Amino acid sequence: MEGQRRTTLPNHVITNAMIYVPQAAVGELADYAEEHRETLEAAKDITKKGDVKASALPKAAVDAILRSRNDVVNLFGRMLAEIDRAGVDGAVQVAHAMTTHEADADLDYFTAVDDLTSTWQDASGSAHMGHTEFSAGTFYRYATIDLDELTRNLAGTDSDVHEVLTGFLTAFTLAVPQAKKNSTAPHTLPHLVHFAVRGDRPVSFAAAFEQPVRPGSHGGNGAPAVTALAQYAAAAGSFLGNSHLISSSWTSPELKDLPDTLGQHFDGLEALIADAVSHVGSTGSEDAA
């Protein structure tokens, strides 16, 4: 902009550790650098050998910016040992997705053909050959949120715990893999969504698939996976008791009748999430599967 000086940020910045900060903090650092432009331009290059701890800017002010958080940091935490009080204990734990059944990787063989072979009088064939691996199946995905930890992380911020929790549950439920999305288009809906609000410890139902399910008589792994999940939920409830189970609920785009072991049925995802979030005042954890 004419009449104003602009700060040009380098393509990368060398630091002693990886730093995860909100997007707003990047702008604040740029503004702070602009404010002290003359000091920075006169400072020595600390990226070269020498005193790498030297700083041209007041360390306390920079550290204060680096301590800033956003909702993502408050949810998933942050490890930043070099700055006091910058570390954040994550309130969310996410398990790796796994198939409920035996699954094999398939090979996608591909070639890339050069369009200029006739111009170069070269008819040797493809310019590149390779393959990628992919698999498809019915997956069990699980995450848990420590509601007490999340409430503590959000204390003193403008964020509302109900809004943050609603955003996370929606994103976790509807998220799809991003890798190779242009060649796989994995935009499917979840077959079953189950939430549990507990007053003591989280409970994963992953052990329901320690013995992989087998397709039903008409094929497909979705129905037998749901049956195995419901049976394990009943076994877990008998083993632990339900005194600390504050709420249990589920929804599905096609299933309407399931055993009571999975809790109350809701007709849609919005109603399910709204009910689960309404129990935030109860201390404990929330399991999403």
Query: What confidence tier does 53 reach under pLDDT thresholds 50, 70, 90?
Result: very low
246, 286 Cβ separation under 8 angstroms: no
pTM above 0.85, yes or no: no
Tell me the per-residue pLDDT of 109-121, one tens digit each, with 9 for 90 and over.
Answer: 888 877 666 666 6
Query: What confidence tier does 124 reach under pLDDT thresholds 50, 70, 90?
Result: low
More confident residue, 240 or 30: 240
pLDDT, position 6: 47
More confident residue, 153 or 49: 153
Q: What is the dihedral of CA 170, 172, 174, 175, to 10 degrees?
A: 140
285, 145 Cβ separation under 8 angstroms: yes
User: Region 153-161: what's the mean pLDDT?
Assistant: 91
pLDDT, position 10: 45
More confident residue, 134 or 230: 230
DSSP one-letter string for the chain: -TTS--PPPPS----SS-----HHHHHHHHHHHHHTHHHHHHS--TTSSS-TT--SS-HHHHHHHHT---HHHHHH-B--TTSTT--B--SEEEPPPEESB---PEEEEEEEE-TTTTTTT----EEEEEEEEE----EE--EEEEHHHHHHHHTTSS--HHHHHHHHHHHHHH----TTHHHH---PPPS-EEEEEESS-----GGGGSS-B---TT--SHHHHHHHHHHHHHHHHHHH-STTEEEEEEE-SS-----GGG-EE-SSHHHHHHHHHTTTTS-SEEEE-
59-68, 222-231, 252-261: which has the minimum mean pLDDT? Answer: 59-68
52-66, 69-83, 178-192, 227-241: which has the minimum mean pLDDT? Answer: 52-66
User: Region 101-114: what's the mean pLDDT?
Assistant: 85
pLDDT, position 46: 57
Decide if pLDDT at 235 tops 50. yes
- The percent of residues in the chain predicted with pLDDT above 70, rounded, is 84
Decide if pLDDT at 57 tops 70. yes
Tell me the per-residue pLDDT of 236-289, one tens digit each, with 9 for 90 and over.
Answer: 999 999 889 999 999 999 999 898 899 999 999 999 999 999 988 766 788 888
Query: What confidence tier does 27 reach under pLDDT thresholds 50, 70, 90?
Result: confident
Using CA atoms, how far apart are residues 135 and 267, in angstroms rounded to an integer? 31
pLDDT, position 40: 76
> In sequence order, what are the residues at sequence separation of 6 or more whose Cβ sits closer than 8 angstroms to the Cβ of residue 150?
74, 75, 91, 92, 161, 164, 165
User: Region 191-203: what's the mean pLDDT?
Assistant: 95
26-30, 53-57, 145-149, 210-214: which has the minimum mean pLDDT? Answer: 53-57
pLDDT, position 1: 38
Decide if pLDDT at 47 tops 80. no
